[in-house]
Amino acid sequence: MFFTDEERQAAEASTTAPSLVDEHS
């Protein structure tokens, strides 16, 4: 799944690794 830039930045700010996994899933 891909998120909007705002949501991606928020996710990356919270935790990077899980964010990347979710993006590539």
More confident residue, 2 or 8: 8
Residue 13 has pLDDT above 60, yes or no: yes
- Cα 22 to Cα 19: distance, rounded to the nearest angstrom: 5
Dmax over Cα atoms in the chain, in whole Å? 19
- Residue 19 pLDDT grade (very low, low, confident, very high; cuts 50, 70, 90): low
- Residues ≥6 apart with Cβ < 8 Å to 20: none
CB-CB contact of 22 with 1 (8 Å): yes
| 22 neighbors 2 (Cβ within 8 angstroms) | no
Q: What is the pTM of this model?
A: 0.35
Provide mean pLDDT across the span 12-24.
63
Token code pair at residue 23? 């993006």
